Amino acid sequence: MNRLKHTWIGILLLLSLACEKEDVSKWDSINFQFSYAVEERPFSIAYMESNHTLYVATLNPSKNDYSAKIQVFGEEGALVKTLVDFASFDEGLYDRYIPVDLTLDNKQNLYVLVRPLLKQADNSWTRPSGFSILLFDAHDDFIKELDFSDIDGEGHPSSLSYYDGQLYVTNGRVLKQIDIETQQIVNIFLPIEEEDPDTWPYLHTTDMEIDDNGMIYFTGQAALNSDSVGCHLSNYNPETNDLTKKYAKGWTWMCCAMLNNPGIYLSKEGYLFLASYYQMSIEVYDENGDFILDCDTRGSGFQETRPIDILTFNKKIYVADHFNSQIHVYNLN
């Protein structure tokens, strides 16, 4: 009997070790390490694991000082190169592009969601109703443009993600599943209850991530009340067509706040990291959406921050600060 008991104990121990993943509850804190300056108004970041570089998309739409770039930075914040300067980029089909979001596939190809612009005879610019996606390979060579500029109807997409050989774009109401090879599109209409005043379109979507099981996560502004600003953390299951709405921990009051622009990232362990734009914080949630810990991004030395995008790699957290044009780097301890 004792031998049988010991055998079962051994089996259970082996199973627990085999299923073990990193326990976020053991993380005591998020500690600021350093910051480095980037071009004005960073809004989207992506990490290239193969060469340990950070891709940073920036956009300053000012007529007097227009700038839109994708730049590459090393681990310590040194500028490696400017991959794209959209003021002079001429390899696409259109005169100019407004970058919107970045994502990488499993082969480290970079996809850039953009809004095309056409220059008119009077030097003004018009914008087609749709969008395009620019593709760069793992060596940073431009490959092609996926042109969906003639798509009409659902508004301009705000986020781009890759999953299982497909690209997904969304404006928070419709998901477009794009076959990269054929460029065929499947529209997935989110099950929005229009009569519910607390849900879409009152929840604005600014970022999207997809986990290894195909579950799709969204974040964005959680209320139209411009003085009470929070973030929603919602998820959509394409298999069951269920849309679940949750809210982030941090809410704040800010007079005449403009549109909230939080960003999210899903770690390989299944944890969700939120860059809370007006809360000026990093927040971490488990796979059930339960809050774990947070960090005030003003600990980076700035009196005011606007965290707009976030990612993690090897227990480092990278945060794009839209207000100060900085990348803040943190350690998970």
Q: Summarize pLDDT for 77-125 with one digit per residue, the tens.
A: 999 999 999 999 999 999 999 999 999 999 999 999 999 999 899 988 8
Q: Give the whole-angstrom CA distance, residue 286 versus residue 21.
A: 12
pLDDT of residue 63: 73
Contacts of residue 217, defined as CB under 8 A and 6 or more positions apart, other chains included, come to 208, 209, 210, 211, 233, 234, 235, 264, 266, 272
**Residue 258 has what pLDDT?**
60
Which domains, from first to last, does the chain contain? 28-332 (2.120.10.30)
8 A C-beta contact, residue 250 and residue 283 = yes
Distance between CA atoms of residues 159 and 170, nearest Å: 6
Secondary structure letter of residue 66 according to DSSP: -
Give the span between the Cα atoms of 110 and 10, in whole angstroms.
46
Q: Which two tokens stand for residue 242?
A: 């269920």
Q: What is the DSSP string of 264-315?
A: EEE-TTS-EEEEETTTTEEEEE-TTS-EEEEEEGGGGS-SS--EEEEEEETT
Which token pair is 308? 């707009």
Mention every residue, 6+ apart, whose C-beta is less than 8 A from residue 106: 162
- Do 327 and 320 meet the contact criterion of CB atoms below 8 Å apart? yes
Q: What's this model's pTM, rounded to 2 decimal places?
A: 0.88
d(CA 307, CA 95) in angstroms, rounded, equals 31
**What is the tens place of the pLDDT at every residue in 222-241?**
765 555 567 889 899 999 99
